[in-house]
Structure 1
Amino acid sequence: MCDDAVVSTYKGYRFPREIISHCVWLYYRFTLPLREIELLMAAGGVEVSYETVRAWCVRFGPEFARRLRQAEDKWHLDEVFVKIGGVRKYLWRAVDQHGNVLDILIQDKRDGKAATRFFRKLLKKQGRRPRVLVTDKLRSYQVAHRKTRSTTEHRQNKYLNNRCEKSHQPTRQRERAMKGFRSVGAAQLFLSSFSRIAPHFRPPRHRMNATDYRTELAIRFQVWDRVTEMTVAA
């Protein structure tokens, strides 16, 4: 129950928080089309249209992702190309040393101007500078480091940046499942949420025994439950 000083962000929605957050979780965690989520919910006795699920993902996905964000002090930056509407673009990503995605940005180029724009966006969103910045040997990162007058230690090494490069794999899988992205805006919106929500439910199972894995998953679901209990001051 909310008191007089608190208002639920779900106010005005016909479905309860549990249904909304579950649908958002299904969409970002699994490669399920919206119509299949509609079918799964119907199998559980919940009649909700796929368009409603889409609207929930657009409305709540970014906020859930923002609340899941955690940043350590060592950042890895990388960029890969993606095709959007048949046109080659570049997806810039930053992750911390644990693989948590900090931010993404889709741009037309991978030059110094693009790297600087991404680094400034990243710094603004995080509200602080990292202790160490790790990149590959692309010269654009040197330009960004210089233009932002950063005093952060900058390490450039092809092999040190495997953490960020491996984090692109789920994005590639989802891109194939969705048969590509239709627009930059749609891709930016989807990937900003997907890049934080999906990894949250992918603990490193290969480094855990079954008991530890189940315990870790239970903890992460508890975090998700807190994240989706969205209330704001009235």
Structure 2
Amino acid sequence: MSKLSYAGYRFPPVIIQRAVWLYARFTLSFRDVEDLLAERGIMVSYETVRRWVRYFGPTIAADLRRRRPKPHSTWHLDEVFIRIDGRLVYLWRAVDVEGEVLDVVVQSKRDKRAALKLLRKLLRKTAFVPDKLVTDDLRSYGAAARELGLSRRHERGRWRNNRAENSHQPTRRRERKMQGFKSAGSAQRFLSVHAATYNTFNVQRHLISAKTHRAFRASAMQTWREVTAAA
């Protein structure tokens, strides 16, 4: 992928890159990022940070996704409700057995059609059929799996899908910090950027030694620098 162009921006690329990284990587608001930059003598308004994230975030996320290795062949699917502008919508999420976020889709319903949309998108993006598809007991998953010929690979159970259910926690934290999403479109944009950043920096710290963790963290930062490098 071609390098990002920062032409026409008053601030140097390194400041823009740092602002976008802070917002995408940590549970911070735009005003929090503004304060962190101000502490370092960089006077940037939170609205400017918001525009940077909105403009550069999707492109960065797309490049990060392209650089990820092939996901595990066991997928966990789950849906959770969120409120957007007072309206109840559903956040459909798919992760693999290692916690890698495969996709996040905001939809208005939790029926067969919504489940099919998520599964078809997953199959198209990953370009392979999973060995195992784990969900809760929502009938929409079974109907969608039958239509796609995945019934034999589909496993259901209330307690078997904790992997996907736990993956909602970072999103819930961000939702509270942002005081809710303003629209379905903005939620979809943010969650796509957040998922790609989360996958890059989620190195399963509790499963590895400190030395290995430092190496993985350095590798993640190097990937971020390559993706955000100026043209």
Instruction: Mark yes or no: TM-score above 0.5.
Output: yes
d(CA) in 2 for partners of 1:128, 1:207: 28
Match of 1:31 in 2: 27
Q: TM-score, normalised by structure 2?
A: 0.87
Deviations 1:174-209 (A, max 9, x none): 111112112211111111111221343232222233
d(CA) in 2 for partners of 1:18, 1:98: 32
Task: Give the fraction of aligned pairs with identical amino acids, expressed as a percent.
Answer: 49
Match of 2:129 in 1: 129
Query: Unaligned regions of 5+ residues in structure 1, if any?
Result: 1-5
Tell me how far 1:164 sits from its aligned partner.
1.1
Match of 1:116 in 2: 116
Tell me how far 1:151 sits from its aligned partner.
7.7
Establish whether residue 11 from structure 1 lines up as the match of residue 15 from structure 2. no
Match of 2:91 in 1: 91
Seen in structure 2, the aligned counterparts of structure 1 residues 83 and 8 have a Cα distance that, compared at 3 Å, is closer
Query: Unaligned regions of 5+ residues in structure 2, if any?
Result: none
Aligned positions, number: 226
Deviations 1:96-152 (A, max 9, x none): 222111111111211111111221222233333333322222211111112234487
In structure 2, the residue corresponding to 1:98 is in which secondary structure? Answer: coil
Question: Which residue among 42, 46, 56 is the counterpart of 2:38?
Answer: 42
Tell me how far 1:169 sits from its aligned partner.
0.7
Contact 2:95 2:101 in 1 (8 A): yes
Contact 1:133 1:152 in 2 (8 A): no
Tell me how far 1:8 sits from its aligned partner.
4.3
Match of 2:18 in 1: 22
Seen in structure 2, the aligned counterparts of structure 1 residues 21 and 131 have a Cα distance that, compared at 3 Å, is farther
Contact 2:3 2:229 in 1 (8 A): no
**Aligned-residue CA RMSD (Å):** 2.2
Question: Which residue among 51, 71, 79 is the counterpart of 1:55?
Answer: 51
Match of 1:203 in 2: 203
Contact 2:90 2:106 in 1 (8 A): yes
Contact 1:100 1:196 in 2 (8 A): no
Deviates more, 1:25-34 or 1:142-151: 142-151
d(CA) in 2 for partners of 1:211, 1:162: 29
Contact 1:99 1:167 in 2 (8 A): yes
Correspondences of 1:134-173 after superposition (within 5 Å): 134-150=134-150, 153-173=153-173
d(CA) in 2 for partners of 1:129, 1:19: 41
Establish whether residue 177 from structure 1 lines up as the match of residue 177 from structure 2. yes
Deviates more, 1:210-219 or 1:21-30: 210-219
Seen in structure 2, the aligned counterparts of structure 1 residues 213 and 8 have a Cα distance that, compared at 3 Å, is closer
Contact 1:129 1:152 in 2 (8 A): no
Contact 1:64 1:228 in 2 (8 A): yes
Deviates more, 1:201-210 or 1:6-15: 6-15
Seen in structure 2, the aligned counterparts of structure 1 residues 161 and 7 have a Cα distance that, compared at 3 Å, is closer
Seen in structure 2, the aligned counterparts of structure 1 residues 65 and 190 have a Cα distance that, compared at 3 Å, is same
